[in-house]
Amino acid sequence: MPISAHARLDIPVPAAPAGTPAGAPRTALEARELPSRPAVPTVAAPAPETRGDMAPGQSRADYYAWLAGNPRHRAEVEAFRAHLAAQGLDNVVPIWQLVRTSSSWRACNADRFEVAPRDKWAHITTTLRFIRDEVEPALGDVEAVSGYRNDRLNRCSAGAPQSAHRNFFALDLAPVNPRVTRAQMIRQVCAAHARDGRAYNTGLGFYNGERFHVDSNGFRKWGADGRGATSPCSSSRYA
């Protein structure tokens, strides 16, 4: 499928036709990506597409620049998208977020975006199904902060030697809606993990703040220090 068919996530959409109202979606695909707007304005503003605390250099605009800088990147993204589309998973999390590497990319002198090797693509599918079926119904849209990390970047980022990120089983996520509190996030995701995590082979870890880790590389849970005993899922505070 030609790249132009995927302007929503790969390249900036073309200029709007003359007469298009300001702020209106310019294509049907773009309209699918934008948050729905109520007919009558409400007091609460719609949740932003992306959180404001992400690492510098890994925005959508930065992704466009990375994509335009090398034809190989475009080909790899297109092939990866086709793989996800075949599984019905290409709209769970935006592709440009799935290829984010690590928030430590600059300090590690690494690429800020990278498509995982093809032989690892199948690993992320179960993880995305858990996010689609269990996480997003509870939290709303989530943003992928970190996906695949090659061995060098994983070491530099202080990742575990056997980190599930190395084989693209894992995504680090954050709720897009800033009104979701840490307590709400933990309560909802822990409930999903307890209910159906075993069926998805889900690993669930929590960092400090409002970020969490999901993988499909073994049913388990852990806290910010990496130990299962400190998982907030085990705390009566979030029951």
pLDDT digits (tens, 9 = 90+) for 115-127: 999 999 999 999 9
Q: Residues 120, 123, 70, 149: what is their CA dihedral angle, to the nearest 10 degrees? A: -90
pTM here? 0.79
pLDDT digits (tens, 9 = 90+) for 86-100: 999 999 999 999 999
Mean pLDDT of 191-207: 97
User: 88-91: long-range contacts (C-beta < 8 A, 24 or more apart)?
Assistant: 89/125, 89/128, 89/129, 89/132, 91/32
Q: What is the mean pLDDT of residues 181-199?
A: 97
* pLDDT on residue 56: 86
**Mean pLDDT of all residues in the chain?**
83
The model's pLDDT over 67-84, given as tens digits with 9 standing for 90+, comes to 999 999 999 999 999 999
Query: In terms of C-beta density within 10 A (0-12 exposed, 13-18 middle, 19 or more buried), how is residue 220 classed?
Result: middle
Which tens digit of pLDDT belongs to each residue from 101-112? Answer: 998 999 999 999
> pLDDT band at 175, cuts 50/70/90?
very high
Look at residue 181 and tell me whether its pLDDT is greater than 90: yes
Percent of the chain with pLDDT over 90: 68
Indicate whether 47 pLDDT > 80.
Answer: no
Handedness of CA 68, 71, 76, 79 (dihedral sign): positive
64: pLDDT strictly greater than 60: yes
How does residue 16 score in pLDDT terms, banded at 50, 70 and 90?
A: very low
Residue in the structure block whose two tokens are 């934008």: 34
